[in-house]
Chains A and B, each alone.
Chain A
Amino acid sequence: MSGTVVAAPPSAKRRGPRVKPMRLLLYAFLTVMALAWLVPVGTAVYNSFRYWEADTQPNGAFSLPETLTLDNYRDAWNVGEMAKTFGNTAFIVIPALFFTLLLAAIVAYACTRYSWKFNIAFLVLFTAGNLMPQQVLFQPLFQFFKRMPWPDILSDTDTGSLLGTKIAVILIHVAFQVGFCTFVLSNYMKTIPKEIDEAAAVDGAGVWRRFFKIILPLTRPALAALGTLEFTWLYNDFFWGAVLLNRGDERPITSSIAVLNGQWASDFNLIAAASILIALPTLVVYLILQKQFISGLTLGASKG
């Protein structure tokens, strides 16, 4: 016993010098890579505090600043009309997120708790929806919305049809995102023992009660993870907002950057400031729900 104890340190010492160069190389490599990834973001942040025409444009993005300023942030907020576009995004994303998660949870519950004829086919249909490029459906949806009369009382803008209303954008988001959410939530619900359900049923709880009072609370980690992911996706959408809403002041926050892109000349520092402002909400949501976000990345990966 004592022999092994004595023998161990020399062997550790021998291993030490042999590993060190490799480890150094590894650290050097990782540091360089990390810095390389940080350069674009760091440059954008740095230059968002500088003037474009007087400073960055003549001196270059990596030069020392002549003056630092918050003007870009103020201008980006005002010129991009961000107060309004943030409001538009909230109007779209919050209901879309709510209905996506609610409907997906209902489908997932039905598909995992009940055996019926089209159980698997149904799940496959929803999962397959993920593989559909959204742009492919653009023309049919556009024409459908255009011909779909919609009472003004149910709409945020008076266009006579669904086209041009934020309701249309919400509907599309819900339809496209339900597929992925169903896939993730059903996988998660499969990990919740069926016995819990059965016990509740024996105690006389109805389907809705079991769903809302038992299964949904147990699914909370998956819902939180999905909420974070889906928020980021819906928030970053530019396509549907741009093609379905024909009024500039109805469009979501992502259009604010486009507005700052000049017809001839662009103030890239202003655009950097706008990008940072626009990225902040997703960053905040991510930082608050970081734990769920990371577990969310692997949610669909393993079957329970």
Chain B
Amino acid sequence: MTNTSNRLQSLRDSSVSRRNFVIGSGAAAVGGAALLAACGDDETAPAATTTAAAPATTAAAETGVGTTTLGSNYSDANPKAALAAAVAATGVDTEINTIDHNTYQDNFNTYVQQPDDVMAWFAGYRMRAFASKGVVGDISDVWDNLDGMSGAFRSASSGLDGNQYFVPLYFYPWAVHYRKSLFADNGYDIPANWDEFKALCDTMEADGLIPLCAANDGRWPQMGMFDMLNLRINGYDFHVSLMGGREDWEDARVQNVFSTWEEILPYYQPDANGRTWQDAANNLGDKSAGMYLLGTFVVSNFDREAQADIIDDIDFFLFPEVNPEHGQDAIEAPIDGFMMAAEPANEAGAKALLTGLGSVEAIDAYLSVDPAVVAANSNADTSGYNALQRKSAEAVATASYIAQFLDRDTDPDFAANVVGVGIADFLATPGSIGTILADIEAKKQTFTFE
């Protein structure tokens, strides 16, 4: 922990000096080199990093790309500083326009009509929706210069026409979180399949614990449970097809997801619909509850210094196998990254910036300031990873399929106003699932899924 925070501090200092230097000199290439040199006080940053950065930064300087603008929803203090460091690492002279996370997301339709050159956004369906409307630019040529991005990331960054419209920065997987000490003290084993999972819930209940933390305030946390069950029971292909509006929600396979879900509802914290994910995370933290299916951001609920013992004690396991046919082949890992405006004011600058943001230097700089996520670039420096990050990277690397999360994999309005409401109703009255699914199917007809 001390190591990390020292590193963090040195990065913060160096990023500031670099930024000022770039502004002062206007010579982006030199600025980039100076910054990277400043990072070099950590022996884990090899000399190769510095040279690798050279092509991107030199290119920026040679073409005289000028100032580029970047629309950012990284409005929390840590991600904001981390993004500034990542942008500085690209060496492209960039003006960052930070807008608070929720407003940015909610108003993206209007924002994209008066966009910055480069815009922070999400991979998968939510990117494709804008790509197919022609409001974001084709950056396939940027991908020619990207190194270290796996095929899964490439396809998550591709539009329906097969071209790339997105550069991934990082991701965070969803999994079942637990406290290692609680499992060790009580002799619990990691459940590999559905029966073991339910048996563990029974044991926990007998031990006086709440087996499963459950929150659904905002109507999105429980979408994760639906996704996982659907992926495990019906497989990735069916899930994508269902999200794409091509399957019937009253289908027996969807019914099966909910009836399987109903089997574990007795182990849920009661009244999940009214609980924020943070409140539920507190129950995981104080060991009154045993397991919590959530994104790895669950650790951000705890204070990095005062509650470091809890953070270090949190581990996760992949959602157990339900249907042997699909095993644990899919994982849910939302990817965040960047798109380019359809007609950027400074296209050369935008592409230089995107190339830079996809590079290993940018994500290394990002992670050194905000080590809560996992690099999309497989060449990223993982030496600073904590156990949870290392495990996240491994889980995603070994997964055959990566889903993005329900509200990113389908029409966002359909997700929020139809499926989200349906899931909340199901949690309140599981018995009425028949009418709930009929209702979802009926409302689905009003969406085009294009």
Contacts and interface: CB of A to CB of B under 8 A. Distances in A.
B75 interface: yes
B110 A243 contact: yes
Given A242-B103, A259-B100, A264-B297, A53 B307 contact: yes
Contact of A246 (B73, B97, B306, B307): B97
Contact of A258 (B97, B100, B115, B278): B100
Contact of A263 (B99, B101, B107, B302): B101
B75 A263 contact: yes
Nearest to B75: A259
B99 A243 contact: no
A162 to B, nearest CB: 11
A159 B115 CA distance: 11
A219 B301 CA distance: 56
Contacts of A58: 282
B111 interface: yes
Measured as residues with beta carbon below 8 angstroms from the partner, the interface class of chain B is 20 to 34
A163 B102 CA distance: 21
Nearest to B372: A264
A134 interface: no
A263 B79 contact: yes
Nearest to B96: A248
A242 B111 CA distance: 9
Interface string B105-121: 00100110111100000
Interface string B255-286: 00000000000000000000001100010000
A247 interface: yes
Nearest to A142: B110
Contact of B113 (A146, A242, A258): A146
A53 B306 contact: yes
A206 interface: no
Interface string A257-295: 011011111100000000000000000000000000000
A33 interface: no
Interface in B282-334: 282, 297, 300-303, 306-307
B387 interface: no
B306 A258 contact: no
Contacts of B103: 242, 255, 258
Given A142-B110, A242-B107, A246-B115, A54 B98 contact: no
Nearest to B294: A264
A156 interface: no
B252 interface: no
Contacts of B98: 248-249
B1 interface: no
Contact of B100 (A54, A243, A247, A248): A248
B77 interface: yes
Contact of B107 (A243, A259, A264, A265): A243
A57 B306 CA distance: 13
Nearest to A246: B114
B102 A248 contact: no
A163 B306 contact: no
A164 B107 CA distance: 14
Contacts of A142: 110, 113
Contacts of B251: none
A119 B92 CA distance: 61
Given A164-B114, A246-B111, A258 B102 contact: yes
B100 A265 contact: no
A57 B282 contact: yes
A30 interface: no
Contacts of A79: 77
Contacts of B97: 246-249
B303 A53 contact: yes
Interface in A75-104: 79
Contact of A54 (B110, B300, B306): B306
B76 interface: yes
B91 to A, nearest CB: 23
Interface in A31-75: 53-54, 57-58
A265 B102 contact: no
A73 B101 CA distance: 21
B282 A264 contact: no
B104 to A, nearest CB: 8
A194 B110 CA distance: 50
A258 B107 CA distance: 13
Nearest to A53: B303
Contacts of B307: 53
Contacts of B100: 248, 255, 258-259, 261
A262 B75 CA distance: 8
B314 to A, nearest CB: 15
A248 B99 contact: yes
B278 A265 contact: yes
Given A246-B97, A248-B98, A258-B102, A163 B77 contact: no
A146 B278 contact: no
Nearest to A54: B306
3 closest A-B pairs by CB:
A248-B99, A258-B100, A259-B100
Interface of A: 53-54, 57-58, 79, 142, 146, 159, 163-164, 242-243, 246-249, 251, 255, 258-259, 261-266
Given A246-B116, A262-B76, 10 more contacts: A53-B302, A58-B282, A142-B110, A242-B103, A246-B111, A249-B98, A255-B103, A261-B100, A263-B79, A264-B76
Interface of B: 71, 73, 75-77, 79, 97-103, 107, 110-111, 113-116, 277-278, 282, 297, 300-303, 306-307
9 contacts: A53-B307, A54-B306, A146-B113, A163-B114, A247-B99, A248-B100, A258-B103, A262-B101, A263-B79
